[in-house]
Amino acid sequence: MGIGSRRRRGQAAAFVGVMALLLLCFNTIGVEWQVLRVPQTSAPTPALSGPAIIGVVAAVGSLRNEAADLHNNTTTPVPLYESVAIVTFVPDGHVKFIDQAQHMLWSSWQFAIGQVPRQLRGRTDLLVFAHRNVVARLPPSCVRLGDPSLLPQSSPPSHDRCYVVEHTPSADAYWHRYSFMFSLSFLAEPAFQPLLMSYDRLLRTDTDVVITPAFLTFRPRQFVVGRGGYMVEEYTKSRIQELAIDLHMTHQGLYNVGSTWFGNTSTVLSMVPKMLEVAKFILDSPKYNVDQGFPRWHIGVTSMYAGELVVNHFIPKDNVWVNSKSLDINCNSIEKTINVYHSHCWPGDQYPGYFNKWAFERGEYTAQRFPRDNLDLAVINDYFMAMALYGK
């Protein structure tokens, strides 16, 4: 057989494959959610039911969202099959963080991977770094990695998996004075670099979040950060600009950079050490370690100031997307789930309605109050409630 003939046959096969995928997509357009029976993944999908069980978002949501993103110059055609690790840290001493990791982040990840066929997306693993005292209390289906430099050989690369990696900060670690930084400092540990670098992209997130099926096909061109809520006064903006000057760093005018980062793995990992350095400078500085109250200048959000400065310094402004519409969306939102990739519980009881993580911690949300058949997973606040109450 000639080379030209083989090429024509290959092109024809590729065309048939593309048309089959398009047919799947077009058959779902106009149907906001469609149940699709997909092969069982490595662990069972949470048993959820209701009026709007989420189906294949890769076919519907991804097409819609990418069309919108392209219009806003936020997404260009990039491989959908890049591997992604969702990374988080669970500290010791607070049951609430264990509950969040299991009933919010893990349950939503477990649900999402069962909704989008693997042939439409890349692998999305969940890496939970945890203090040794909480490792045993995390989901038993998650593989415990004794040696984080070696992934289990029995794990096919095509399978989405959850891994638990023990990380216990030393008793004399600097960040005990500002413990939130432990949720980031593990990313700077040399022992974890081989594991982390085995993925194309990282989503750095807190535990009080859910991801949606739409996230599994979200591959933006830009480095994406969520929306922060700490920068509301001009004084604060001028002060962080002054901080940048004192540190000989660049601030490009991007404010309210959220704590959730999604981007190229090497970019994320190169930024974390500098972020730790900036946070330490703030805490040790007689000039900047003076709390003036929130939101003017608050030491309690040092990590946010440091993160904002580092993102501005490392990445050209045009390559950063401060995504206020589909990342870090408040968990009480009534946004359509299909238009959201990641929802985050903002602190406080001042937000109306549900979901509210403080109410969840107080035990105010029960199956009696929120029967799962009454929850509409097509809306974020109901989706969040379903993950928290029924995604086990």
Identity of the amino acid at 317: K
Strand partners of residue 144: 164
What does the pLDDT read at residue 157?
Answer: 64
Residue-level pLDDT at 391: 86
User: Taking the domains of the chain in order of start, what are their residue ranges?
Assistant: 9-392
* Listed residue (163, 183, 188) closest to 94, CA to CA: 183
Give the pLDDT confidence score for residue 147 in this predicted structure.
Answer: 86
Query: What's this model's pTM, rounded to 2 decimal places?
Result: 0.81
Residue 379 bridge partners (DSSP): 336
Q: Quick count: other Cβ atoms within 10 Å of Cβ 198?
A: 14
CB 212 within 8 A of CB 57: yes
Q: What tokens does 17 get? A: 């494959």
Q: What is the pLDDT of residue 346?
A: 81
Q: Residue 174: which region, alpha, beta or left (left: phi > 0; alpha: psi -120 to 50)?
A: alpha
Nearest by Cα to 43 from 208, 183, 159: 159
* The Cα angle at residue 100 between residues 378 and 274, in degrees rounded to 5: 105
Rg (CA), the chain: 22
Structure tokens at 272: 């974390």
Report yes or no: 323 and 259 within 8 Å, Cβ to Cβ: no
Q: Look at residue 146 in the predicted model and tell me its pLDDT.
A: 86
CA angle 345, 264, 243 (to 5 degrees): 70
* Count of other CB atoms within 10 angstroms of residue 180: 18
Q: Give helix 234-246 / helix 302-314 axis angle, nearest 10°.
A: 60
Report pLDDT for 212: 97
Tell me how far CA of residue 322 lies from CA of 76, 262, 289, 328, 392, in angstroms.
Answer: 16, 11, 27, 10, 32
Q: What is the pLDDT along the chain (392 residues), one digit of tens a residue?
A: 444 444 444 444 444 343 333 333 333 322 222 222 223 333 333 444 333 334 433 333 333 333 334 334 444 455 668 999 999 999 998 899 999 999 999 999 999 999 999 888 999 999 999 999 999 999 999 999 988 877 665 455 678 999 999 999 999 999 999 999 999 999 999 999 999 999 999 999 999 999 999 999 999 999 999 988 899 899 999 999 999 999 999 999 999 999 999 999 999 999 999 999 999 999 999 999 999 999 999 999 999 999 999 999 999 999 999 998 999 998 989 999 999 999 999 876 667 789 999 899 999 999 999 999 999 999 999 999 999 999 86
